[in-house]
Amino acid sequence: MKLSTAGAGAYILKGKKTHFLELGADLAYLGVDEISDDQRSGAVTPDYPVQSIYGTLNLGYRAMLSKCIFKAGIAPGFIKGEFLKGAYIGIGFGF
C-alpha cells in the first residue's frame, strides 16, 4: 500500500497534571494510491484509491509522564461522504 497523509487539528485536554481526556478535531489530506490484500476490509483507510481532504472528531486518553507521552483513542470521520472508522495510538519519548 502507498499511503500519504498530512494534517492539523485542535485539541482540548480535560484532566489534572498527567492524565487527560482528549477531545479534538482534525482536518487532513489522505492519499491512497495502491491497495494491498490486507487492506480490503476498509477498516482504517478506504479500500479504494483516493486523494481527498477528510475531517475527524477525536475522543481519547492522554498520559503525560516526566519523559513519555502516551495517547490512544477513536477518531471516526468522513471522506467523500463515506463514514471512515478510525483509531489512534501513539507513544513519544523526550530526552
38-93 pLDDT per residue, tens: 555 555 666 778 888 988 999 999 999 889 999 999 999 888 888 888 888 999 99
CA–chain centroid gap for 56, Å, is 8
User: How deeply is 69 buried, as exposed, middle or buried, from its count of CB atoms within 10 A (0-12, 13-18, 19+)?
Assistant: middle
Confidence of residue 35 (pLDDT cuts 50, 70, 90): low
pLDDT of residue 83: 84
46 strand-pairing partners: none
pLDDT of residue 62: 95
Q: Is 76 helix (H, G, I), strand (E, B) or coil?
A: coil
d(CA 78, CA 85): 9
The set of residues, in sequence order, having a beta carbon less than 8 Å from that of 17 and lying 6+ positions away, is: none
Phi-psi region of 15 (alpha: psi -120 to 50; beta: other; left: phi over 0): left
